[in-house]
Each structure stands twice: as structure tokens, then as C-alpha cells.
């Protein structure tokens, strides 16, 4: 009983404003320290191209090699970081690592278009375009290998600024992808208000096609519409053979998910791409279902 009471007291303290302040102060410092000591690492998730049947793209996903807590998922620190300027530091750290990776791919003779996630807060910084240009000029890379993933929430705060920043990067040759389409406030009308070239169907949306015929109908018609609107399309969350075949059959350009590969570190990514050959069963499937 006493132990239980002690536990409850502890919970009470954890929830106090003071504790919260101390914890967030500590985490902020840990992240800053982590940036300084390069504890953050980019993992790469291969993205399969249904036309060439090879890996033509990848998404850079941040991981934290925490000295005490091990490898941490972005869910354990990105939402926290997004509440302050910390996310701006992290996002630029990721951009720099992504530019380095694009340079290394080139040296390995790999043509991989790399997608990088940017938070709205970072993208809408007043000096974002300047800072981006500065970083870019330090790395002599072909900008057509960079893709930036944004969620529709970037438009919530300042639509004009969002469009201006997108146009500025567009004129540098950088393409944009709308992430997590089909969730939240994503609206079809807003699609054409911004210069997105790629639309990523949200993974929950994709996975729902597995056991929900209505959802399959929605995905199928959505993809047809996006094609007619000249968007390149990506399905995220392609976790199994069923979804892989379904979205190959539907007019979807790029497939991303555990069925193809989980996100892996740089070395494993390079060897995955170099050794990738489409499964023989898949080749047979393709022959019978040419679209």
C-alpha cells in the first residue's frame, strides 16, 4: 500500500509544472548535446519504382543513438523538438547529413532521389531560404536528387510564406512531396495551391485497403485522379505482399514499406540497392497485369 502511495506521489510530481519544466529543459540540453556530438544518424528507407522495378528513391529518417537509452525513434523526440527552435537545429542537421549522403551516393554511382522531412516551423523560418541556399552551396550536389516532404499543416499558419519558400526552392530545382496525404486536414482542393510534384498516401490509408473494400475503392480512384492531375504518387506502409501487388496494379509510381525494406543505416542501404532484384513471382505478376 505504502509503495503504491509512493508511486502515486511520484506521478503527481512528474505531472507538476515544475517537473515538466525541468524535464523539458533537460531534454532540450540532451538534444543540443546530441547534435554537437553527432548522436543523430540518418537511416534510409528504400523506395521501389513500379516503372523501372528498381530502387530509385529513398526517405531519410532520423534516429538517435542515445548514449544511455539506445537507438531512439523520432517519435520520442521530434514532437518535443517541434515545440521550440530545437526542431530548426535538428532539421538543418538532417539536411546537412542528407546532402552528404547524396554526395556519397553519387560517388558510389547510385542514382537515388532522397526525400527529407521538414517540419512546418523550420520551413517557415524567415531566413529559411537563405540558410538553405547557404548549406546547399557548401555541397556541390545536383538538386534534382533532393525531395522535400512537407505535411499540409505548413499552409495553416502562413499560406503565402509557404508558397514563396516552395517557389524559391523550386527554382533551385528541388521538388516537393506532400506527406501523409489522406489524414487530418489534407484537402484535395489545397493540392493545387502549392507546387507539390509528389503525393504520398498516408500509411494508415494504404494499409486499410488490406481488409476494407471501400478503402481500396477510395485509393484506386484517388490514384487515378492524382495521375490525371499529373502528380507522381507514393504509397507508404506497403507492409506485405498483398499491398505490394495491389499498389503495383493500381496506378502508383512509388512504393515504400516494410515489404520492400525497413529503414536501414547507410551501409546496409547501399548494399540493398546494389543487390536489389525484383522477386520472380512479382515479374510473373507484372506480365499478366500490364497496365
Residues that bind Mg ion (CB under 5 A): 117, 149, 179-180, 236
CB of 74 to ligand C2E, least distance (A): 4
Q: Which of 124, 252, 256, 270 binds ligand C2E (CB under 6 A)?
A: 256
Q: Which of 80, 245, 249, 258 binds ligand C2E (CB under 6 A)?
A: 258
CB of 238 to ligand C2E, least distance (A): 6
Nearest CA-CA partner of 174 in 132, 139, 126, 229: 132
Torsion of CA 85, 91, 97, 100, to 10 degrees: -110
Interaction between residue 50 and ligand C2E (CB under 6 A)? no
Q: Is 285 in the site for ligand C2E (CB under 6 A)?
A: no
Nearest to 262 by CA among 46, 117, 66: 46
d(CA 139, CA 21): 39
Among 34, 120, 182, 237, binds ligand C2E (CB under 6 A): 237
**76 part of the interface to ligand C2E, by CB under 6 A:** no
DSSP 8-state assignment for residue 255: E
Residue nearest to ligand C2E (CB): 257
61 binds, among Mg ion, ligand C2E, none (CB under 5 to 8 A by kind): ligand C2E
Q: Cβ of residue 55: shortest distance to ligand C2E, in angstroms?
A: 14
- Residue 152 site contact among ligand C2E, Mg ion, none (CB < 5 to 8 Å, cut-off depends on kind): none
Contact call for residues 247 and 238 (beta carbons, < 8 A):
yes
Per CB under 6 A, contacts with ligand C2E among 158-217 are: 179-180, 203
Cell reading at 259: 515489404
Among 35, 78, 110, 191, binds ligand C2E (CB under 6 A): 78
Q: Which is nearer to ligand C2E, 9 or 83 (CB)?
A: 83
> CB neighbours (10 Å) of residue 266?
16
- Region of 154 (left: φ > 0; alpha: ψ -120 to 50; beta: rest) is alpha
Minimum separation from the CB atom of position 174 to Mg ion (A): 15
> What are 255's three cell numbers?
512504393
Question: Residue 251, interface with ligand C2E (CB under 6 A)?
Answer: no
Distance (Å, whole) CA 111 – CA 190: 31
Question: How far is it, in rounded angstroms, from Cα 255 to Cα 194?
Answer: 23
Give least dist CB 217 to ligand C2E, A: 22
Classify the C-alpha dihedral 239-272-220-242 as positive or negative.
negative
Q: Which of 51, 6, 7, 14 is nearest to 233 (CA)?
A: 51
Rule CB under 6 A: which residues touch ligand C2E? 45, 61-62, 73-75, 78, 91, 94, 117-119, 149, 179-180, 203, 236-239, 256-258, 263
Amino acid at each position: 500500500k505504502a509503495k503504491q502511495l509512493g508511486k502515486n506521489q511520484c506521478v503527481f510530481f512528474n505531472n507538476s509544472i515544475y517537473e515538466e519544466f525541468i524535464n523539458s529543459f533537460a531534454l532540450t540540453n540532451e538534444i543540443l548535446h546530441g547534435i554537437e556530438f553527432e548522436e543523430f544518424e540518418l537511416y534510409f528507407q528504400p523506395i521501389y519504382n513500379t516503372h523501372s522495378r528498381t530502387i530509385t528513391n529513398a526517405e531519410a529518417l532520423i534516429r538517435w543513438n542515445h548514449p544511455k537509452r539506445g537507438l531512439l525513434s523520432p517519435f520520442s523526440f521530434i514532437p518535443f523538438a517541434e515545440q521550440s527552435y530545437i526542431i530548426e537545429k535538428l532539421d538543418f542537421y538532417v539536411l546537412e547529413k542528407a546532402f552528404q549522403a547524396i554526395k556519397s551516393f553519387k560517388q558510389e554511382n547510385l542514382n537515388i532521389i532522397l526525400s527529407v522531412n521538414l517540419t512546418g516551423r523550420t520551413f517557415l523560418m524567415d531566413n529559411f531560404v537563405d540558410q538553405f541556399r547557404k548549406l546547399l552551396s557548401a555541397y556541390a550536389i545536383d538538386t534534382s536528387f533532393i525531395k522535400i516532404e512537407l505535411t499540409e499543416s505548413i499552409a495553416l499558419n502562413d499560406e503565402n510564406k509557404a508558397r514563396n519558400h516552395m517557389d524559391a526552392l523550386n527554382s533551385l530545382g528541388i521538388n516537393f512531396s506532400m506527406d501523409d496525404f489522406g489524414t487530418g486536414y489534407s484537402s484535395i482542393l489545397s493540392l493545387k495551391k502549392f507546387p507539390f510534384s509528389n503525393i504520398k498516401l498516408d500509411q494508415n490509408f494504404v494499409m486499410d485497403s488490406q481488409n476494407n473494400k471501400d478503402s481500396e475503392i477510395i485509393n484506386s480512384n484517388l490514384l487515378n485522379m492524382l495521375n490525371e492531375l499529373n502528380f507522381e504518387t507514393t504509397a507508404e506502409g506497403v507492409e506485405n505482399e498483398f499491398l505490394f501487388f495491389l499498389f503495383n496494379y493500381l496506378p502508383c509510381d512509388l512504393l515504400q514499406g516494410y515489404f520492400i525494406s525497413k529503414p536501414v543505416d547507410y551501409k546496409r542501404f547501399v548494399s540493398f540497392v546494389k543487390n536489389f532484384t525484383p522477386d520472380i513471382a512479382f515479374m510473373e505478376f507484372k506480365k499478366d497485369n500490364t497496365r
